[in-house]
Amino acid sequence: MYSLILGKRHRGAYAHTPSTTLLDASGKSCPMNAMFADPSAMMAALKRSGQCTIASGEQDAPLVQAMLPGGPMAKEFTKDEVEVVRRWIKSGAPLIADQSEGASSEGNDVRINANAHFKFTL
Ligand code: HEM
């Protein structure tokens, strides 16, 4: 989800009307366009603003609905991209560890044991 937002930021940051807002960490309405600069903050804001909540009787959350045929973003997202968003939401819309809301940095340590040099043949 993070990389999807990052990849769309050049178009996305100008596409939304200034009145389209999300709630920032302090609960203030913040224009969505500005949030493209910080995808993890945007993910938290989408969640906080109810965009990831599937209403009863609905198949998809508002964010996904806006990306499906008939929605305002239908032409901007491929089927696979919509699936990325849908899966992110279905798995509870997890946030990046540096966001405090329910995220934890536990188990986020990655050690890369790189070889000093290696050889490959084409
Ligand atoms: C991952 C990136 C993006 C996210 C998370 C996102 C999120 C949203 C959200 C939450 C809405 C409001 C939906 C509602 O009505 O409840 C919206 C509306 C809209 N989006 Fe996006 N968007 C993204 C990228 C884009 C891109 C790339 C475009 C076009 C270039 C676009 C065009 C629009 C338009 C035209 C609307 C309706 C008008 C408006 O609300 O300003 N979006 N988007």
What tens digit of pLDDT does each residue of 11-60 get? 999 999 999 999 999 999 999 999 999 999 999 999 999 999 999 999 99
d(CA 101, CA 6): 21
Burial class of 82 by CB neighbour count within 10 A (0 to 12, 13 to 18, 19+) = buried
Whether residue 99 contacts residue 73, with contact meaning beta carbons closer than 8 Å, is answered with no
- Residues in the ligand 1 pocket, defined by CB under 6 Å: 4-5, 8, 11-12, 15-17, 20, 46, 51, 62-63, 66, 72-73, 76
Distance (angstroms) between ligand 1 centre and the Cα of 73 equals 6
Q: How far does residue 43's CA lie from ligand 1's centre (Å)?
A: 13
pLDDT tens-digit readout, 61-84: 999 999 999 999 999 999 999 999
**Better pLDDT: 119 or 45:** 45
Tell me the two tokens of residue 120: 């490959």
Contacts of 39 (CB under 8 A, 6+ apart): 1, 2, 3, 5, 6, 9, 96
Burial of 66 (0-12, 13-18, 19+ CB in 10 A): middle
- Distance from Cα 115 to the centre of ligand 1, integer Å: 44
**Residue 92 CA to ligand 1 centre (angstroms):** 20
pLDDT of residue 96: 80
Show Cβ contacts of residue 43 under 8 Å, excluding neighbours closer than 6 positions.
1, 2, 5, 93, 95, 96, 99
